[in-house]
Amino acid sequence: MGIGFRELLVILAIALLVFGAGKLKNIGSDLGAAVRGFKKGMSDEEETTKDTKAAPAAEDNKKA
């Protein structure tokens, strides 16, 4: 019921015909950079959220 190996090959062949080999390489590298940037952004957001939650507790301890 999913996309099989043959379907992926057909899609890749059509993309190769439409965009050409050089442009397809650029598209792949740009897509990889976008995924890496997204993952980095998500991990940075998690660290910021953890720091934000820890900061008020530290400030409360200083006031007491």
Query: For position 30, what pLDDT does the model report?
Result: 93
This prediction's pTM: 0.51
Token code pair at residue 37: 């940037």
Per domain, the residue ranges of the chain are: 5-59
Q: Which tens digit of pLDDT belongs to each residue from 13-63?
A: 998 899 888 888 898 899 999 999 999 988 887 777 777 776 665 555 565
Residue with tokens 């007491």: 64
Q: How far apart are CA 11 and CA 1, in angstroms?
A: 17
* C-beta atoms surrounding 15 within 10 Å: 14
pLDDT of residue 60: 59
- The pLDDT, as a whole number, for residue 39 is 92
Question: How confident is the model at residue 29, as a pLDDT?
Answer: 92
